[in-house]
Amino acid sequence: MKPILIIKTGSTLSSLKSTRGDFEDWMVRGCALPRSAFHVVNVESGETLPAYETISAVMVSGSHAMVSERMPWSETAAHWLAQAVERRLPTLGICYGHQLLAHALGGEVDYNPNGLEKGTLEVTLVPEGQSDPLLSILPRISRLHLSHAQSVLRLPAGALRLARSTMDEHQAFSFNGNAWGVQFHPEFDADVMRAYIQADHGDLLAAGQDPETLLAGCEETPFGSQLLQRFAVLAGWG
């Protein structure tokens, strides 16, 4: 079986990385597959993406970078992603990966005019999401972990909106029947979510949000790992 490619677009907080591992470690764990099922390529550090024929599916990690900055490594990855979707490789973008996928397919990404969205918050499936092969495993309203400043402001032509939240109309989308972007973090757990709220304490206060309330609202949720495991099935690893 060909491996699932994880495109690593950045690293988590250094305090978390030293004790909990990095984005790709959490993605692997969430999929409930052995590490040998994955091939990780760190595009932020300049590693080269593989030939499409050598992989079974694609996952794109989060990052502390901003898609709107159009960094060379990010633009190269976006071009590669567009070709992967055209070749009908199962593809899942998470947070930055969600935004990068939308950008790659012709959508618009920039700072969310509603501000920072951070915490264990409600995400609601729209009707298209309730019948989607990937997202339909979630309840219509799920509490999921969110941490982002930028959003998909305009979906690519032909994309289907699948989910929304109070602060973001494009929490998830699908494209071409084989590609999905999710703004939320299915790989996070409650401790990781708390660490991100604490790291952005000052920015949240400046944005008029209450970090203590957000911390109190953090909770474990099974829905992220369920979604990752469902993607693994759709990628042929079921």
Catalytic residue among 24, 31, 185, 218: 185
Instruction: Report which residue type is found at 55.
Output: I
Per-residue pLDDT, 108: 98
- pLDDT at position 43: 98
Q: What is the mean pLDDT of the chain?
A: 97
Give me the DSSP letters along 158-220: T-EEEEE-SS-S-SEEEETTTEEEESS-TT--HHHHHHHHHHTHHHHHHTT--HHHHHHT---
pLDDT digits (tens, 9 = 90+) for 80-118: 999 999 999 999 999 999 999 999 999 999 999 999 999
**Catalytic residue (choose from 24, 148, 187, 218):** 187
- If one counts every other C-beta atom within 10 angstroms of the C-beta of residue 232, the result is 22
- Closest by CA position to 102, among listed 90, 117, 85, 118: 85
Pick the CATH number of 4-237 from 3.20.20.150, 3.40.50.720, 3.40.50.880, 3.40.50.150: 3.40.50.880
220 is catalytic: no
Is the pLDDT score of 238 beyond 80? no
Domain locations in the chain?
Answer: 4-237
Is the CB of residue 104 less than 8 Å from the CB of residue 79? yes
What DSSP assignment string belongs to 60-77?
E---SS-GGG--HHHHHH
Rounded to an integer, what distance in angstroms lies between the CA atom of residue 231 and that of residue 3?
A: 13
At 6-56, the pLDDT tens digits run: 999 999 999 999 999 999 999 999 999 999 999 999 999 999 999 999 999
Q: What is the pLDDT of residue 34?
A: 97
Q: What is the mean pLDDT of residues 178-191?
A: 98
* % pLDDT > 70, the chain: 100
Does the pLDDT value for residue 127 go beyond 80?
yes
pLDDT of residue 21: 97
> Which listed residue (95, 98, 117, 148) is catalytic?
95
Indicate if 145 belongs to the active site.
no
